[in-house]
Structure 1
């Protein structure tokens, strides 16, 4: 750690954060939220590359930096820890932090597999430390509007959900050593499906309740990398809504797709999950478009909820319990593929 600057003691009205893993995701999407949200301060950051950790701290005006996760976790000036590493270390860091008396906010997916999620939940229960997961679409305006329209009866009784997500393969022109960790199951749990479909399926859990039945089929069509690259699945929510989805990460640019379609007895709602476009409502009265702007730091609304709940002033909508349900669904969809490997 490079700074001996004294930090003011916690007055019980401020949550003091440490971040483990200040990579690209923390530059704009999430990191600044921890020092911009009211009653929240970012006290320390960690990255295994000490030079990069120091650079991040300097650029973001953070007093302390570390190159070892345990040192940050045991910093007495840190009340809560945001874990923004790849999934293979989510469980170990989260468990260490909770056992050290720190609340935890962890990137999604919650862990590589549901079994790791269950272990994290058990430690949260044992220690009494809160556990949150970064499924921030539960707090974004377009997704909240879709939920509001459904609950107000705008499309009548919800019947079914369709998901399509088709993306080009950046890996087509890469050597294995150049590929992102997202396509290596030993790090990510599976492939791009776990990283991206997790957002969609978690949001549907938020709107329609937990998924109680799921079937999936996963294959590797391209041979570009070890993980699956194409997945199809069907599921049923406890509310009775049924869903089907298809995900492919090796299509041509002309075939790219990104939408969630929610069909009811009196109409339908559709919105993209990742391009953050418009929400479309179709009913007998016609078609209506809604336009929204996301926060500059897209995780900020959710981080605000986490801080408020830790201070006893609100409730956070994305918890370890809800995120673990999503990990169970992901596991079930690709289970047969990995059994055969």
Structure 2
């Protein structure tokens, strides 16, 4: 694949820490950057070794630059309008989550993209994280039988940027909500319990999926969780698999012999982990969290005019599920 030329809108902390370096690692050429401040745009270009052009006007950049795609990582309240601006300019666009604050806004973007014939991809990086891609292979491959049930945990200190349950769901837990759909399909039934305590979030959610999988999710947004934590435990017909803290997948196969498991070494666990060395540096984290994978996928979709896994159209269902979960909480 030839090097993709990308333009960027936004150069904040998340963009500079995760998105820019991941795009460069995936093989992108940073062609131009637009922020509200021309000096900030120039500084971002310099930081990531680009000789591209700096802008303080998004509309002007979209008019002047002929690129493979535009990457939008701005404030959540600005992203829908920026995405639509890119689409009207005929540009393929990647937008960090959330794209639209609800299903109706998400649908408006997807419809505009379809009419314009451009690629729209939403930044749900967990779909591209190696641990969840491997878990998805187990679920779809059938080597352990059917996926029957799951338990999901996500806990983070969301208090600096989420002031209520809706913000928590759509700015933080949304990644896990989208991951549910990626792994298990569409939800047909939701019940939930919450303790309403302002910006402190504690939620317990039960879900039933259209393929017969049932599951539970524990979501917490508390300062107690300054150590961000997540896991997904899936029970199959013939074993279970635990994706733990992004970097470990433990797969347990049920015994197949006639002896009782405590009489002999009949049970088997396979543990998949990444290696770590001084050579991996900070890029190890960007790969494991899925940022490099999603940037590579976006560039491939732009160049081949393919539909992304986390497309604008698919995003409609994720936003709808967020609201369904919120409406179920009692």
Compute the TM-score of the two structures, normalised by the length of structure 1. Answer: 0.80
The alignment status of 1:278 with 2:266, answered yes or no, reads no
* Post-superposition offset of 1:95: 0.7
Which residue in 1 is equivalent to 2:175? Answer: 199
Q: How does 1:285-296 map to 2 (within 5 A)?
A: 285-292=267-274, 295=284
* Post-superposition offset of 1:193: 3.0
Which residue in 1 is equivalent to 2:18? Answer: 29
Which residue in 1 is equivalent to 2:209? Answer: 237
CA offset digits 1:40-82 (Å, max 9, x no partner)? 4211112223332221112113321222322323233334211
CA RMSD of aligned residues (A): 2.9
The alignment status of 1:95 with 2:84, answered yes or no, reads yes
- CA distance 1:125–1:218, shift in 2 (3 Å): farther
* Post-superposition offset of 1:313: 7.9
How many equivalent pairs are there? 307
Distance in 2 (alpha carbons) for counterparts of 1:18 and 1:234: 41
Which residue in 2 is equivalent to 1:323? Answer: 315
SS in 1 for 2:173: helix
* Post-superposition offset of 1:102: 0.6
The alignment status of 1:146 with 2:147, answered yes or no, reads no
- CA distance 1:135–1:168, shift in 2 (3 Å): closer
Which residue in 2 is equivalent to 1:56? Answer: 44
Q: How does 1:134-173 map to 2 (within 5 A)?
A: 134-168=123-157, 171=159
SS in 2 for 1:27: helix
Q: Is the 8 Å Cα contact of residues 119 and 305 (structure 2) preserved in structure 1?
A: no
* Post-superposition offset of 1:103: 0.9
- CA distance 1:110–1:304, shift in 2 (3 Å): same
The alignment status of 1:120 with 2:70, answered yes or no, reads no
CA offset digits 1:183-207 (Å, max 9, x no partner)? 156xxx9333323322222223222
User: Please, which runs of 5 or more residues in structure 1 have no aligned partner?
Assistant: 1-11, 172-178
User: Please, which runs of 5 or more residues in structure 2 have no aligned partner?
Assistant: 255-266, 276-282
* Post-superposition offset of 1:317: 2.1
